[in-house]
Amino acid sequence: MNQNPLITLNQFIADEQSKFPKVNGNLSSIFRNLQLAAKMINRDVRKAGLVDILGNFGETNVQGEEQKKLDVISNEIFMRLMDLSGNCVCVVSEEDEDIHWCPGGENAKYILAIDPLDGSSNIDVNASIGSIFSIYKRLSPDKPVTKEDILQAGIHQVAAGYIIYGTATMFVYTTGNGVFGFTLDDSIQEFCLSHPNIMIPEMGSIFSVNEGNLKEFPAGVQAYVDYCKGNDKAEKRPYSARYIGSLIADFHRNLLKGGIYMYPPTEKAPNGKLRLLYECNPMSFLVEQAGGKSHTGKHRVMEVTPEQFHQRVPIFIGSSRMVDQVLDMMNKDA
Ligand code: P6P
């Protein structure tokens, strides 16, 4: 019999909340609805091959990318459940150019930024995909929300996390007191604590980058990729190249095993491809809480003050010593 106590995500959230007597439970209510959204999207992702919901929706999102039906469905699920939580004033989503204002949420305290289904180009080929969320508190509860409430630097996040729809479905999050992973037990439809206090190894032997763009990378990044492929048994080089094309899948593996994920500037994407508000900031909050690092090449990601809702930044994120190595090589090249 497994001796580990069965701690569900709901119980864990309640226990965490009880540590802060002054807390009124509004954030917990958002988490309960995020969890419900995760279960609903998991249901749709798992049956994608069965129900005719594959293929392009025929519309494009603000990023100009073909929208898969599951992108649209996932976005609608998150929006509906944030509306119902009553504790969210607005949502910034990768799928919507404009802000979604939650009806009746004018006086709510929290702002959500989401990538409802990241890696969606992998849906039709059955590779792991995921949802990413980032939560902020509005700056001035007694005044109407302004752009400044939404464009806060990542250091001001109150919570962040992702759901990975992989061989198992996991809910991984932080509120600034460590990183915790919960695995969905399908038989009882409960997320159960499986990875308490996740810490990323300070050194790893996995590098994740799209080498198809290698010649477009800054010289220091090219030098680091070359270093990863070098021969040094003591340093476990050559490292393993692992790049799924799904940020959450690559990040989750590197978080548990150690490694670095890079999306450097390219000619096509001079500011990188990943979005600051709902991809880079939440993943950076998680990795730093797990003892890792996240950098744009010029700044700590979480210290960048956003200027636009869908702003992109380059990102080097993962094991602290691996991030330091690539930054050193970029600085030498500068
Ligand atoms: P590329 C998916 O579209 C995504 O945002 C990340 O999940 C993934 O790591 C990256 O883009 C893949 O981009 O340009 O290498 O195909």
Give 86-144 pLDDT, tens digit per residue. 999 999 999 999 999 999 999 999 999 999 999 888 888 889 999 999 999 999 888 99
Q: What is the pLDDT of residues 192-233, one digit of tens each?
A: 999 999 999 999 999 999 999 999 999 999 999 999 999 999
**Residue-level pLDDT at 283:** 98
Ligand 1 contacts (CB < 6 A) are 118-119, 121, 210, 245-247, 273-274
- Pair (110, 186) in one structural domain: yes
Q: Ligand 1 centre and the CA of 64: distance in Å? A: 14
Q: What is the pLDDT of residues 39-67, one digit of tens each?
A: 999 998 887 766 555 555 666 667 766 66
* Ligand 1 pocket test target in 214, 242, 246, 275 with most atoms within 8 Å of CB: 246
Structure tokens at 246: 């799904």
**Residue-level pLDDT at 100:** 98
Is residue 2 in a domain? no
- Pair (214, 191) in one structural domain: no
Angle between helices 247-257 and 281-289 (to 10 degrees): 10
Helices (H) and strands (E) in the chain, counts: 8, 15
| Pairwise CA distance, residues 178 & 174, whole Å | 6
- Pair (33, 161) in one structural domain: yes
Tell me if the pTM is above 0.75: yes
Quick count: other Cβ atoms within 10 Å of Cβ 128?
20
**Is the bond preceding 270 in cis, omega lying within 30 degrees of 0?**
no
Cα–Cα–Cα angle for 45, 47, 52, rounded to 5 degrees? 100
Pick the last residue of a domain from 165, 195, 225.
Answer: 195
Q: Ligand 1 centre and the CA of 130: distance in Å? A: 12
**Residue-level pLDDT at 51:** 58
**Residue-level pLDDT at 49:** 63
- Pair (122, 250) in one structural domain: no
Does residue 21 have a pLDDT over 90? Answer: no
Pick the last residue of a domain from 164, 195, 226.
Answer: 195
- Pair (191, 211) in one structural domain: no
Is residue 168 in a domain? yes
- Pair (57, 185) in one structural domain: yes
**Residue-level pLDDT at 17:** 87
Sheet with 293-295, edge to edge strand ranges: 240-241, 206-208, 260-263, 315-318, 293-295
Q: Ligand 1 centre and the CA of 119: distance in Å? A: 6
Question: Are the beta carbons of 323 and 294 closer than 8 angstroms?
Answer: yes
Selection from 74, 138, 134, 83 nearest residue 105 by Cα: 83
Q: Which atom of ligand 1 is nearest to the CA of 279?
A: 5
Residues 14-25: what's their mean pLDDT? 84
What is the span of the domain harbouring residue 65?
9-195
**Residue-level pLDDT at 52:** 58
Pick the last residue of a domain from 174, 195, 216.
Answer: 195
- Pair (97, 223) in one structural domain: no
**Residue-level pLDDT at 4:** 67
- Pair (13, 131) in one structural domain: yes
- Pair (244, 178) in one structural domain: no
Is residue 186 in a domain? yes
